[in-house]
Amino acid sequence: MSKPVVAIVGRPNVGKSTLFNRIIGRNFAIVEDTPGVTRDRNYAEAEWDGKKFLLVDTGGFEPVTEDPMYSKMREQTTLAVEEADFIVFLMDGKQGLLPADIEVSQRLRASGKPVIYAVNKVDGEKHEGFLPDFYRLGIDTLFPVSAQHGQGFSELMDELHRLLPKAPPEAEEKAELPRVAIIGRPNVGKSSFVNSLIGEDRMIVSSVAGTTRDAVDSVYQYYGKKYVLVDTAGIRSRGKISQGVEKYSVMRAMKGMSRADVALVLIDAAEGITEQDERIVGLAHEEGKGIIIVLNKWDLVPDKEQAFKRITTEVRQRLKFADYAAVVAISALTKQRVTKVFDELDKVIAEREKRVPTAELNRVFEKLISRHEPPLYRARRVKYYYATQVGIKPPTFVVFVNFPDGVHFSYIRYIENNLREAFGFHGSPVRIFAKKRREANEAREGKPRRRKERGS
Ligand code: GDP
Ligand code: GDP
């Protein structure tokens, strides 16, 4: 249910992002190439031998300044440690053990969290010379590795696998109650929002322990319907600790979101959308969560009607990849329209679980294909045979074609827009994959070829 967070920590240049890429490269499939979403990606969902986790490259959080490296790293490491469940501490076998490594390792030990000590860039015998040095850290096990070339990699990953909690059984993943994550940058009003709900009489029925140590979820009841609010205790209690280091809100968002069906992304309406908000929404989008943009602090916004138009336009523009997101304006402070969020929530949950009958789907599909000729692929026609919905949460479709490589992103987008027009999916991402239709099927089924084929 809850995915543990694994952070790669270490000095700049030890190879953190190289290791990160190697870990996710093995099984991370980028679903779509959305501009803006994958840029400076330093967190990802990963899996090793059936165990899923969220991987964070803390190097991605290094501010690009000329600040003294140590203090930045210290801050960074502290934060990473605070958020992570497991830590891979990476050092540099080419450089040997440096004072900064010793300092970091002391902090890590003080945290009490499980740490894997790894020495990178051990690609050849000449780099092994430094290894004994690292045992001065007082550790039992050291993992020499080459993030670049792969030596020692599977040993490292097997160790991580050993530490990670057992994968939950299938059944547990299917939570009966809808799960909602309240996320957003520091200070947008997350805890105020949660508190405003608690103030209501119909609020929190009970608390249920999340599977990660520190997460406590709450059950919220609204007009007889129940929702699990993910990590409410965390939202209410923390905040002070790492405010100021905004980028960490992404990590937090990621953590909460991994267990949710729908993300309520709070945005400070008085401030407008920031890059960090974009990133958080991008994350929800990539993870296939339902998305509701909650414009909070609406009480501070003058000329509300005008403002709502302006800001929803801004939402559609800045968050183009998630232009399906639902938008609600509230004030956590005055409690205005706070419960309105739950009406929206019901809709989004339903849309994310929607199944479209195949016949209906293909009626729409054939129409859209014939209306707008797909682009050629290496001077050959890309044929779209039919579409089928293979999943929900979020709705996922496969379109069968002759050349999957020839399916252009923009055409997928075109298909998506048409499916949305026909079937909605308001507030939910939609996934569309192109698959090659096997020749054998083609022959056996003897589907008539599309008439229009020659007429372009
Ligand atoms: P980060 O700053 O910790 O994220 O480090 P990077 O992943 O950006 O790597 C820093 C440099 O070390 C790059 O030039 C990498 O090519 C190099 N590097 C990373 N891993 C290895 C390795 O296993 N062996 C060698 N020889 N070089 C590596
Ligand atoms: P969090 O860090 O996202 O949990 O944000 P908080 O709930 O701690 O709120 C940050 C600040 O914004 C606090 O001073 C709140 O009183 C204020 N705030 C939160 N919601 C609203 C709102 O709807 N209107 C106004 N005017 N202020 C708000």
Q: How far apart are CA 401 and CA 383, in angstroms?
A: 5
Q: Following CA atoms 115, 116, 117, 120 in sequence, which dihedral angle do they give, to the nearest 10 degrees?
A: -130
User: What does the pLDDT read at residue 185?
Assistant: 85
Q: How far apart are CA 268 and CA 373, in angstroms?
A: 42
Q: Which residues pair with 220 in a beta bridge?
A: 227
Q: Which residues pair with 399 in a beta bridge?
A: 387, 434
Q: Is the CB of 84 under 6 A from ligand 1?
A: no
Q: Which atom of ligand 1 is nearest to the CA of 90?
A: 3
Neighbouring CB atoms inside 10 A of 217's CB total 28
Ligand 2: residue whose CA is nearest its atom 25: 297
- Residue whose C-alpha is closest to residue 183's, from 269, 270, 279, 87: 279
Ligand 1: residue whose CA is nearest its atom 10: 13
User: What does the pLDDT read at residue 308?
Assistant: 92
> With contact defined as beta carbons under 8 Å apart, do 37 and 321 qualify?
yes
Least confident piece of the model among 289-293, 347-351, 379-383: 379-383
Q: Is the CB of 234 under 6 A from ligand 1?
A: no
User: What does the pLDDT read at residue 70?
Assistant: 52
Residues with CB under 6 A from ligand 2: 184, 186-192, 239, 296-297, 299-300, 331-333
Q: Which ligand is nearest to the CA of 16?
A: 1
Q: How far apart are CA 299 and CA 195, in angstroms?
A: 17
- Specify the higher pLDDT residue, 442 or 283: 283
> With contact defined as beta carbons under 8 Å apart, do 205 and 198 qualify?
no
* 114-127 pLDDT, tens digit each: 999 999 999 876 66
Ligand 2: residue whose CA is nearest its atom 9: 189
Ligand 2: residue whose CA is nearest its atom 6: 189
**Token pair belonging to 143:** 């993992």
User: What does the pLDDT read at residue 108?
Assistant: 86
Task: Enter the DSSP assignment of 377.
Answer: B
> With contact defined as beta carbons under 8 Å apart, do 143 and 152 qualify?
yes
Q: Is the CB of 76 under 6 A from ligand 1?
A: no
- Specify the higher pLDDT residue, 428 or 84: 428
Q: How far is the CA of 238 from the centre of ligand 2 (A)?
A: 14
Query: Average pLDDT for residues 59-66, to the nearest whole number?
Result: 45
DSSP collapsed to 3 states, 32-45: CCCCCCCCCCCEEE
Q: How far is the CA of 122 from the centre of ligand 2 (A)?
A: 49
In the predicted structure, residue 164 carries a pLDDT above the cut 90: yes
User: What does the pLDDT read at residue 396?
Assistant: 95
Q: How far is the CA of 143 from the centre of ligand 2 (A)?
A: 45
Phi and psi at 246, nearest 5°, equal -60, -35
Q: Which ligand is nearest to the CA of 153?
A: 1
Choose one of 61, 92, 148 to mutate for the ligand 1 pocket test, by most ligand atoms within 8 angstroms of C-beta: 148
User: What does the pLDDT read at residue 52?
Assistant: 86
Ligand 2: residue whose CA is nearest its atom 2: 187
Least confident piece of the model among 45-54, 146-155, 355-364: 45-54
Query: Average pLDDT for residues 436-446, to the nearest whole number?
Result: 56
- Residue whose C-alpha is closest to residue 191's, from 241, 219, 232: 232
> With contact defined as beta carbons under 8 Å apart, do 7 and 17 qualify?
no
- Determine the 3-state secondary structure of 204 from DSSP: coil
**Token pair belonging to 39:** 């840029």
* 186-230 pLDDT, tens digit each: 889 888 898 888 655 444 444 444 434 445 677 787 777 888 888
Q: Is the CB of 288 under 6 A from ligand 1?
A: no
User: Which of 69-83, 96-110, 289-303 is the most confident on average?
Assistant: 289-303
Q: Is the CB of 218 under 6 A from ligand 1?
A: no
> With contact defined as beta carbons under 8 Å apart, do 338 and 199 qualify?
no
Ligand 2: residue whose CA is nearest its atom 24: 297
User: What does the pLDDT read at residue 153?
Assistant: 93
Tell me the average pLDDT of the chain.
80
In the predicted structure, residue 446 carries a pLDDT above the cut 60: no
User: What does the pLDDT read at residue 241?
Assistant: 44
